[in-house]
Chains A and B, each alone.
Chain A
Amino acid sequence: DVKVTQSSRYLVKRTGEKVFLECVQDMDHENMFWYRQDPGLGLRLIYFSYDVKMKEKGDIPEGYSVSREKKERFSLILESASTNQTSMYLCASRTGQSYEQYFGPGTRLTVT
């Protein structure tokens, strides 16, 4: 079974803090993704990566950066957290040959 894990299920941070959300997948997938999910807006793509050290902006990259130093790990970084970044964050991965994405359980981040 493909497993995608995220470092925290719930996180509470203060405005201005630097926040790291970690995602690890164990199936040697080339592609990894970070989404946020907000009520009434659906899943929106923040950043994605096709390979180690490669990153591409998604639809809403502002206020975020990412890091992919190893194939299995994709980190989402909030350089200076703001209250409008309070959301559910989902990581996903897939192979280069398949359309199907596998999701992690999500991290619910609250910025106060």
Chain B
Amino acid sequence: ILNVEQSPQSLHVQEGDSTNFTCSFPSSNFYALHWYRWETAKSPEALFVMTLNGDEKKKGRISATLNTKEGYSYLYIKGSQPEDSATYLCAYYGGSQGNLIFGKGTKLSVKP
């Protein structure tokens, strides 16, 4: 059974704090790792699709790294803002299996 783990489950930070969370996934048969942001009452929105070991992607204050050999990815948010409050999902695509396998998400709350 393929498992994708995310930690922590939830996180409460103050505005301006930097934060990071982890996604671990199977290191075999790796094709891609996705990060999504899911705000309340909205559709999950794709942040990054990462395919290469050592990949680092950035979108504004949010960045992500990927280690396919050891099977983990980190998502970093620099200087968190209240609008960053959302659930962050990672999803592993193993190719042979054909579908995304989602972690349970990390729920981030940023207090003004």
Instruction: Identify the A interface with B (CB < 8 A).
Output: 4, 33, 35, 40-45, 48, 58, 90, 99-106
Contact = CB atoms under 8 A, between A and B. Distances in A.
Given A4-B43, A43-B89, A90-B44, A99 B32 contact: yes
B99 A45 contact: yes
For the residues of A in contact with B, the DSSP-based class is strand
Contact of A58 (B31, B42, B99): B99
A40 B31 CA distance: 26
Interface stretch (B64-72, B77-85, B102-110): B102-110
B43 A106 contact: yes
Contact of B99 (A33, A41, A42, A104): A33
A41 B105 CA distance: 9
Contacts, number: 44
Size band of the B side of the interface?
20 to 34
Contact of B102 (A4, A40, A42, A99): A42
Contacts of B31: 99
A31 B6 CA distance: 26
Nearest to A104: B43
26 contacts: A4-B43, A33-B99, A35-B102, A42-B89, A42-B103, A42-B104, A42-B105, A45-B99, A48-B99, A58-B99, A90-B44, A99-B32, A99-B34, A99-B51, A100-B34, A100-B46, A100-B49, A101-B91, A101-B100, A103-B36, A103-B43, A103-B44, A104-B43, A105-B41, A105-B42, A106-B43
Q: Which of A4, A102, A103 has the most chain B CB atoms inside 10 A of its CB?
A: A103
